[in-house]
Amino acid sequence: MSRYRKILVGYDGSAAGRKAFDAALDLAAKEGGELYVLSVARPPEVGDDVETEAVIENSRHYHRRMLAELKASIAAKGVKAHLEVTVGHPAEQIIYDADRHGVDLIVVGDRGRSKLARFLLGSVSKQVVQYAGLPVMVVR
């Protein structure tokens, strides 16, 4: 029986995000597992409700198009995948989604900021590693 039946990958369209997606897809194919690809649209910090709703809707469309570009790679590997766009803080949403779907592994990319910047600002990958109660693979 495979170790990783359900794998969740956080995908943001960056080079690091693509590396994480590729690693998660390869692992899902090898393990015969399901892949959950989550893209998180961040809500704007300020703005009135009408403005905020428009910004969020535009962001959702952008993230859906970004995920659609992954479908050919997924089909080529023959992996059962679920593509989802959500709104919120990336680390929180990744952990929430992992719990909701009962995944065995979370895969995230490391943006490659300097060690000092990561220390001062934290990063999504660092927060996921720190707060997720399950295995996390950080792809560099």
Q: Render pLDDT for 107-120 as a digit per residue (tens, 0 to 9).
A: 999 876 666 655 55
Residue 21 lies in a domain: yes
Residue 76 lies in a domain: yes
Residue 46 lies in a domain: yes
Residue 126 belongs to domain spanning: 6-139
Residue 72 lies in a domain: yes
pTM comes to 0.90
78: left (phi over 0), alpha (psi -120 to 50) or beta: left
**Cα 78 vs. chain centroid, distance in angstroms?**
20
For residue range 28-50, what is the model confidence (pLDDT) as tens digits?
999 999 999 999 998 887 777 87
Whichever domain contains 80, its CATH number is 3.40.50.620
Residue 53 lies in a domain: yes
Q: How many domains does the chain have?
A: 1
Asked whether the beta carbons of 139 and 109 are under 8 A apart, the reply is yes
